[in-house]
Amino acid sequence: MKIAFAQLNPVVGDLAGNSQMILEAAAQAADRGADLLVVSELVISGYPPKDLLLREGFVDRCDRAIEELAQAEVFQRVAGIIGHPTRRGLTGQAIANAASLIADGAIQSTTHKTLLPNYDVFDEQRYFSPSRKIAPLVFRDRKLGVHICEDAWWGESSTRYHQNPALHPDPIFELATQGAECFINLSASPFERDKRHQRLNLVRNHVERHQRPFLFVNQVGGNDDLVFDGHSFVLNELGEMVLEAAAFETDFQMIDLDALPAPLQDSEQAYEKDLLDALILGLRDYMQKCGFSDCVLGLSGGVDSALATYIAAAAMGPEHVHCLMMPSRYSTEHSVGDSQKLVEALGVDAEIIPIDEIHKAYEATPIVGDDLKLQPLGLPDQNLQARIRGACVMLRSNTHGWIALATGNKSELAVGYCTIYGDMAGGFAVLSDLFKRDVYALCKYINQTREGREVIPENIINKPPSAELAPDQKDQDTLPPYEILDAILAGLIEQHKSVASLCEEFPEETVRWVANKLDRNEFKRRQMPPGIKLSQRAFGTGRRMPMAARFDG
């Protein structure tokens, strides 16, 4: 049996466009002699559809879309297993996350997702009813162990399904017990660091247990704050990888289930490459799927805005990136000079807009100027300058219809070293899930490996970071050294460590300062633009913390 699989990039809600992608993949599969085409989870609706599933008529239209696909001429020549939401066969307002086998002009059979994730960014129990029956799909007298994404994560320690097998049965075990001769997983599994290895280890555990081949078909592309990395793959019955689809791009592959290819050599990619690819794809898809062709951002001469500019140029092309250099009275000469070197290296559009005259106008304004005099060079004055810059960026955005990019990193956002309506202003926060240490690592990787030349000026990378909103200002005048700050933040945010345990690793005064800043600035992060999830705990939908709270621990 020849099975084709298409790693597609659906747009959430675009039923017609997504159906057309499936038809094109089916035509390619049929022309190449495939018996069956497999595509990813909820590909008809796009993933994640979120509350579109609750909108009147949406799921019904998804059901009509799968019925229309089944009747298409191409599915007379090749069968398909398609992921979609459905109400078919359910009572009341129930919805299932489903995969349907279509062939010979009709929907032949449908399986529903059993395990519904309800952690991190996943909220499937809000929408879907779990399957009450687990059984293989039969195609040409062969039993196929078709299941959907989370159904393969039974046994993973973080999911804890295995702690109550009566409530959460193991779908892979059930399919194997009923004679499935291979496993086929339709996934929409988002990227995070080391996710590829995590999936491979998980699937290999199933293969070692049941000695059957395993086909994993993932979505690719960016949808809101999630990036799907693809990396679809096939393992033989020994757990050896025999085929892997491209990373971070659409792909089409075929295998013969009865004559699997020879095992591949496992290749390792630098983690910086994966992070950059995820950032570039996430920004490109967010802009294009939201209808933006161009972006605008402030270019300060610092490492964050330099990296954001590089990502934007790689995502959309340098001709679609517009930078504003907005020196203040406190800016150093090299800040503009370093920015101009970056602009020349990338070929992006840039203009210089000094903000001192605007700043002086505020100082000369009655009442406003009086307030500024109360704290000369203090926080109000510094935030005012950041807001002047933010207003200039937003004015350019509004005038030309370009999306404004915010350039703050995770370290700054965590402790509130950022200005609401200033440097936080924008439609997308490109670096919001990168600690400062990651920003430096990516800049060095770009110069040394990805580009092989000095694209980001070395002076930007090497000079002490500064907001340049006060005389001789440096980040480390206010913040702990970034290597310590980032390590404490990683412990608090991503590892869920207590303050007490971190005080055993780092100076207590520093830990308590960081923890307090993290908690007290939740209100700022609630107002930040969406960004790209790269870690297990990104600010946004996957981390839900109270704003009005007190907890010392």
What is the distance between the alpha carbons of residues 483 and 472, in angstroms, rounded to a whole number?
A: 22
End-to-end, the C-alpha distance of the chain in Å comes to 58
Taking CA atoms, 376 is separated from 182, 341, 372, 380, in Å, by: 71, 33, 6, 9
> Two tokens at 350?
């840039």
133, burial (CB in 10 Å: exposed 0-12, middle 13-18, buried 19+): exposed
Beta bridge partners of 190: 228
What is the distance between the alpha carbons of residues 464 and 528, in angstroms, rounded to a whole number?
A: 25
- Tell me if 450 sits within 8 A of 314, measured CB to CB: no
Q: Which of 215, 222, 156 is nearest to 187 (CA)?
A: 215
> Which three-class secondary structure state does DSSP give residue 3?
strand
Q: Which of 505, 540, 508 is nearest to 522 (CA)?
A: 540
For 248, which DSSP code? S
What is the distance between the alpha carbons of residues 43 and 116, in angstroms, rounded to a whole number?
A: 17
Residue with tokens 């099975």: 3
Beta bridge partners of 147: 185
**Angle at Cα 347 formed by Cα 339 and Cα 288, nearest 5°?**
105
What is the distance between the alpha carbons of residues 352 and 363, in angstroms, rounded to a whole number?
A: 22
| Helix segments in 330-435, DSSP class H | 333-346, 356-363, 368-374, 379-400, 410-415
Q: Which residues are catalytic?
A: 41, 113, 149
> Which three-class secondary structure state does DSSP give residue 533?
coil
> Which three-class secondary structure state does DSSP give residue 243?
strand
| Helix segments in 246-302, DSSP class H | 271-289
Backbone dihedral region for residue 472 (phi beyond 0: left; psi -120 to 50: alpha; all else: beta): left
What is the distance between the alpha carbons of residues 12 and 225, in angstroms, rounded to a whole number?
A: 13
3-state secondary structure 84-144: EEECCCCCCCCCEEEEEEEECCEEEEEEECCCCCCCCCCCHHHCCCCCCCCCCEEECCEEE
**What residues contact residue 262 under an 8 Å CB cut-off, 6+ apart?**
242
* CA 394 distance to own-chain centroid: 25
Torsion, CA 504, CA 505, CA 507, CA 510, rounded to 10: -110
Residue with tokens 């997702």: 113
